[in-house]
Structure 1
Amino acid sequence: MTGVVVAEWTKFRSLRSVLVTVGLTVVLAVVFGVLISSGQARQYAELTAAERAAFDPTYVSLIGCFTFAQLAIGALGVLSVTSEYATGTIRPSLAAVPRRGRLLAAKAVVLGAAAFVAANVAVFAAYLGGQPTLSGMDAPSSTLDDPHVLRAVLGAGWWLTAVALLGVGVGMLVRSTAGAFTVVVASTLLVPLVSGLLPEWFARWWPTTAGQQVLRVVRDPDALPPFAGIAWMYAAVAAVLLLGHLSLRLRDA
């Protein structure tokens, strides 16, 4: 297994798109984290007492992570698989590693580790950029020493890593970069956007929406608890990876 992981790492870091997507993940998280923090700070004075009580400065600075940065890191997960199908290198990979489950596991390990590092750089940079923006505009801000704040920031990294792994599973199922990326965007961004039009239980149990609760310091009483939400999201991602494994075993390369 060690040799397979090393081989997958060599293939992964040789992709020209890796540095671009990793850089975009960090840049989008920071830029939009600051811009959204600035916009929310300007509106704070106009909020009602109830809205101020629900104001979550940590969550505000991390919104850019799951609104924009997730697009880049999801694409990274997709490309780690579909690039091999596009170039035909999946065939020699399967010849070298006949146990297809081991190949997929190695891809998930390499992509998960790389995404985890990139995601944590992105979320901490977004948080550290957003909080001074809020405090500088006389809106509430937080520090990492405050209750549940560190959990929320680390949770944003877990959430982004799950999106990247989702890209691996969907990429293995769809085998097309455009098609797989469309599925990832729809499931992580578009479906949550329209969840307000759907029954209340849908938003509570949709995996990516449930997972976002780990980013919140001020809890939504109608949503799953933070750790239960992120665990449910990882369970759903594991199910997609399992389907990807079955597809890899049953379909020709």
Structure 2
Amino acid sequence: MTLLAVERMKLVSTRSPWWCAALALLLTTGFAALMAATAVPEVPLTVASTQFGYRFGMTVVMVMAALAVTTEYRFGTIRASFLGSPGRTGTLVAKAAVVAVVALVLGELAGFGSWGIAKLVDPGADLALQTAYEWRAVAGVGLVYAAAAVLAVGVGAIVRHTAGAVSVLLIWSFLVEGLVQLVPRVGDDVFRWLPFNVADKFITGDPDPSARDVVYGPPPADAVLGPWPALAYFAGIAAVVLAAAVVAVNRRDA
């Protein structure tokens, strides 16, 4: 519990997490307002479209999580953190846990905030949360953000440099996964198992039968897993990356 309290104080005592939180909420709710303001009968506003900006918010959350580690390496405070606890593993796990909780809260604020803003901009839209798909599309954002934050902490601990860690996260999520589809024969099959595409399946894929067309929101993911197994798969990958970071941190000098 002491490690968790220390990591919480370190996280909230710096400006970057607050700026990242504000930016994540601004991006997600801003896109929701834009989707609501531009909705027409031919392209109606749906629960899915209110979450159009969730991927952009997740990117900012991952940057925040990576900074929680790389900033300590940059200023050398990581040495004091490791000296103040019996083992480095506990420090890194505590940091990941605290960041994951913050990401979970931000995700829920982003999901329900986007849904609420869209309803205010377009009061006549049918945005009732009735099916399991619609609840996942809104309330599930926090769960995906939490897993993504753990993954980003692991990447930050492995790379240790802010620019490098952020570059890896952004390039992989926005570029590499899409380019894999261009590989002849096997590209599409591999893409269906890539982590961020699988995470999208939990938010946008395999919806329950309803009259709302998800193509008017984030593109439906084509991952082979169902929604909840997809979330477990993404969280498992985040846990593996964090475990690799624990090994790396214990083997290298701070």
TM-score range (shorter-chain normalised) is 0.7 to 0.9
* Contact 1:65 1:160 survives alignment (8 Å): no
AA at the equivalent of 1:162: A
Shift of 1:196: 4.1
User: Are 1:150 and 2:135 counterparts?
Assistant: yes
Bigger drift between 196-205 and 106-115 goes to 196-205
Taking a change above 3 Å as real, the CA distance of residues 176 and 13 of structure 1, as seen in their structure-2 partners, is same
User: Are 1:168 and 2:153 counterparts?
Assistant: yes
* Contact 2:29 2:114 survives alignment (8 Å): yes
In 2, Cα distance between equivalents of 1:165 and 1:132: 33
1:185-204 equivalent positions in 2, closer than 5 A: 185-198=170-183, 199-204=187-192
* Residue 48 (structure 2) aligns with: 59
Per-residue CA distance 1:190-236 (angstroms, 9 max, x = gap): 23443543422122111111111111265459432111111111111
Shift of 1:162: 1.7
User: Are 1:119 and 2:107 counterparts?
Assistant: yes
* SS, match of residue 112 in structure 2: helix
* Number of aligned residues: 238
Taking a change above 3 Å as real, the CA distance of residues 222 and 28 of structure 1, as seen in their structure-2 partners, is closer
Per-residue CA distance 1:50-87 (angstroms, 9 max, x = gap): xxxxx892222112011x21221111101110110011
1:1-253 equivalent positions in 2, closer than 5 A: 2-39=1-38, 41-42=39-40, 45=42, 57-66=46-55, 68-131=56-119, 133=121, 136=124, 141-198=126-183, 199-216=187-204, 219=207, 222-223=222-223, 224-253=225-254
Name the % identity: 30
Query: Following TM superposition, where does structure 1 have runs of at least 4 consecutive aligned residues deviating by more than 6 angstroms?
Result: none
Taking a change above 3 Å as real, the CA distance of residues 119 and 57 of structure 1, as seen in their structure-2 partners, is same
Task: State the superposition RMSD in angstroms.
Answer: 2.2
In 1, Cα distance between equivalents of 2:246 and 2:34: 40
* Contact 1:149 1:217 survives alignment (8 Å): no
Taking a change above 3 Å as real, the CA distance of residues 30 and 229 of structure 1, as seen in their structure-2 partners, is same
* Contact 1:25 1:70 survives alignment (8 Å): yes
* Contact 2:181 2:191 survives alignment (8 Å): yes
* Contact 2:201 2:222 survives alignment (8 Å): no
In 2, Cα distance between equivalents of 1:65 and 1:174: 26
* Contact 1:155 1:214 survives alignment (8 Å): yes
Shift of 1:21: 0.6
